[in-house]
Amino acid sequence: MRGELGGLGLRLRPGWLLGAAAAALLVLGAWRWAGGRRRRRRLQRVGTVLSLFVYPVKSCRGVAVGRAQVTPMGLRSGELRDRFWLVTKEDGHMVTARQEPRLVLISVSCDNEHLILEAPDMKSLHLPVKLPRKNPVQNCRVFGLDIQGRDCGDEVAQWITTFLNSEPYRLVHFEPSMVPRKSKDVINLFRTTDEVAYPDCSPVLIISEASLDDLNTRLEKKVKIQNFRPNILVTDCSAFEEDTWEEIVIGDVEMKGTVCCARCILTTVNPDTGVLDRKEPLETLKSYRLCDPSERHIYKSSPLFGRYFAVDRTGTIRVGDPVYKMVQY
């Protein structure tokens, strides 16, 4: 159900009313300094958080959580940080479900400061989150950009290689002391302050339930939200409304919309079987979700589904939280 939090004007009132108004302004974040002038804004409710997902290992199965910290580099739930682990070739180049679709069948959880990997017909593997300093730091390549990762050891490397029945692969972990990738180096519309570890380009991806429902009305075989791997799934809004959100507030977190998510063959990997289809839902999306011709230099021929957000103010979000957009007036 939609609603609005009206603009709070500063007028001469009794002292206690002024205090209450000031407190409300601080909580809602409805005022900001910009260009040396104070801009007046209100928060308009546009949806509700339906689900939250963290993807600790890039391309592996996501973890649904009830609450998450939103950091400048993405969602965090305890020791699980979004895409802070990466499968690589021995030369450091990233490996995703685009090349190895069965990666999506690997489940990830955390217990007693250990990452736990599970997969069909495999014994579970326990890996310490904090790796020994003797483990070498590897130079990796993610979408053509250099980034480091500490090697997680031979045991997990063999486990992943055995499950995928592939050439030798390694697993690396991004540590806080390492230098992140700049989102702006992937897509120029990001700010110089927007940074990520191993995500494609953005700390947060948001999709609405209505957008998924709209797509499924056009498909013979329905797809799941897991095909699209968002961090935040929003309900109580119309299809593709998320494309229009420029600045949003969830809980005490503020985020800024950047660009839409250009989709690739990863969306055609069945999250339940790990089989790459290469056609749907990508072909259907291309029939009605291509960008405006003026934006082809950004998205080229890729269809759009979901919107990327950068983090302006960190904090905690929960399933059930209302989603507000900032409206200037």
Per residue in 68-84, is it b (16+ CB within 10 Å) or e — as a string? bbbbebbbbbebbbbbb
Structural domains of the chain sorted by starting position, each given as residue range(s) with its CATH number in brackets: 45-52+194-328 (2.40.33), 77-182 (no CATH)
Residue of 38 and 187 predicted with greater confidence? 187
- The tens digit of pLDDT for each residue in 215-225 reads 999 999 999 99
In the numeric block, the tokens 């959880």 are attached to 109
DSSP characters over 42-92: EEEEEEEEEEEEE-SBTTSPPEEESEEEEETTEEEETTEETT-EEEEETTS
User: 106 is written with which tokens?
Assistant: 């690997």
- The tens digit of pLDDT for each residue in 95-116 reads 999 999 999 999 999 999 999 9
pTM across the whole model: 0.88
- In sequence order, the 6+-apart residues with CB closer than 8 A to the CB of 52 are 64, 65, 66, 67, 68, 75, 231, 232, 233, 317, 318, 319
- On the question of pLDDT at 10 being above 60, the answer is no
Measured between alpha carbons, how far is 108 from 76 in angstroms, rounded to an integer?
14
Provide, rounded to the nearest whole percent, the portion of the chain with pLDDT above 90: 87
Q: What is the pLDDT of residue 38?
A: 53
- On the question of pLDDT at 25 being above 90, the answer is no
Q: What is the pLDDT of residue 39?
A: 64
